[in-house]
Amino acid sequence: MNTTAKADKKSLRFRNIKLCIFFSGLSVFAQLYLFQPLLPIAADHFHTTVGDSSMLVSSATIGMAAGLLFFAFKADSYSRKKLMVFSLISSALLTIISTCIPSLFLLIVIGVLKGFVISGVSAVALAYLTEEVKISVVGLAISMYLSGNTIGGMSGRILATILAGEFGWRNAVLIIGIESLILGLIFWKLFPDSQFFNPQKIDYSLKIKQMRSFLTDSYMLRLYFIAALLMGTFVSIYNYLTFRLESAPFSLNHFYIAFIFLMYTFGVFGTMITSRLSKRYLQKNILQGSIVFMAAGTVLLFSENIYIVIFGLGLLTLSFFAAHTMASQMTALHAKQGKSSATSIYWLFYYFGSSILGSGTGYLLHGTSWNIFILFLIFPISLSFVLTLSNQTQASKPSW
């Protein structure tokens, strides 16, 4: 039995955990979406379509989904720190290698590999924090990780846009890859080893039974499809808004477009608002309201007024993160047993929605117009709202 005390707020161990877990989130999401603002440049460079270039983003999220499914079975059999160090350093090396790749197809393959290895961080980060940190400060540690995710995703997009405009897209990717490698090495040096976790064998039959149970539970299936539809819509808009802003009537240069991604800060507010509202309102009603406001933000993107577009994007971002926070909480709360299996499936749908809709809508935009593209995206949002209208089922009794 381990008699060592868990990390508390005043300890050096906790400070190192907090710093490194922030760096891990920063690295993961800076790399995962760094190609998103570069899609117009990539499309021109490889002489390809909008939809084909979007696979640079979707490939990473497909790999992420596949990796999360794999680690749903295997994560508990590996050392927490070793898995996270491997994920951070190997993904950074793949990002650096990608700057030397001459073909779009090989870049997409590397994207899948990078998404797969990087998922090792997401698979165990929260588990590590709940195991190693005192319950009184777990919330603080988790907030640092989620802040790293948000800031990483935002800063990666902004840096990629600015650097690509000044130095070319390959150099932009190289710089982000080197920064991610440095963060990975700092993590390796400073992140404390687990003291309250021992690798263990996985009961595969139990995991499969749990997953089968959730996939046949209508309540959970609705939440999973809501996650896929909303994330697919959200990623579609951020994937292709750069194309829209570069063309008439906006004709913005890369420097101004970069700061559009500051809208991601509204995602933090969306999460905070949801946690406050959940104390006063039904979860289902909060989810429905978030989806309605997300639809409203999407409609505002029809406008040719840049200020209305910015407001609409902010509303869309805030509402998406509010809906995502609520849906993921509802998933975890409904699963009385096998929570890790339930949330793994949630993330699987979430990233597949990002990949499938995120690329599919690119072909639609290429073949039609921005207005038809936005009109189409109102459909998955509306379908998500319809899925919330079904009567909530009681938590089904597990069959395992």
Reduced to 3 states (helix: H, G, I; strand: E, B; else coil), residue 94 is helix
Ordered by where they begin, the domains of the chain are 9-202 (1.20.1250.20), 203-393 (1.20.1250.20)
List Cα–Cα distances, 157 to 6, 35, 224, in angstroms: 36, 8, 27
For residue 379, the tally of other CB atoms under 10 A from its CB is 11
- Concatenated DSSP letters of 305-320: -HHHHHHHHHHHHHHH
Q: In sequence order, what are the residues at sequence separation of 6 or more whose Cβ sits closer than 8 angstroms to the Cβ of residue 84?
A: 24, 120, 121, 124, 125, 128, 187, 191
Q: Is the pLDDT score of 394 beyond 50?
A: no
Q: In sequence order, what are the residues at sequence separation of 6 or more whose Cβ sits closer than 8 angstroms to the Cβ of residue 18?
A: 140, 141, 144
Structure confidence at residue 397 as a pLDDT band (50, 70, 90): very low
Q: Is the pLDDT score of 398 beyond 70?
A: no
How far apart CA 356 and CA 257 sit, in angstroms, is 25
Give the predicted TM-score (pTM) of the model.
0.85
Q: Is the pLDDT score of 396 beyond 70?
A: no
Higher pLDDT, 166 or 393: 166
Look-up: residue for tokens 């690295």? 27
Nearest Cα to Cα of residue 100 among 184, 19, 169: 169
What type of residue sits at position 168? G
Question: Which residues are bridge partners to 133 per DSSP?
Answer: 7
Average pLDDT, the chain: 89
Average pLDDT over residues 309-325: 94
Q: List, for residues 132-189, the tens digit of each pLDDT value.
A: 988 888 777 877 787 788 888 888 989 999 999 889 999 999 999 999 999 999 999 9
Average pLDDT over residues 70-89: 90
Q: List, for residues 329-381, the tens digit of each pLDDT value.
A: 888 788 877 776 787 888 889 999 999 999 999 999 999 999 999 999 999 99
Q: Is 255 exposed, middle or buried (0-12, 13-18, 19+ CB in 10 A)?
A: exposed
Nearest Cα to Cα of residue 37 among 251, 326, 237: 237
Q: Is the pLDDT score of 272 beyond 90?
A: no
What does the buried/exposed string (b/e) look like for 230-245 if buried means 16 or more CB atoms within 10 Å of the residue's CB? bbbbbbbbbbbbbbbb
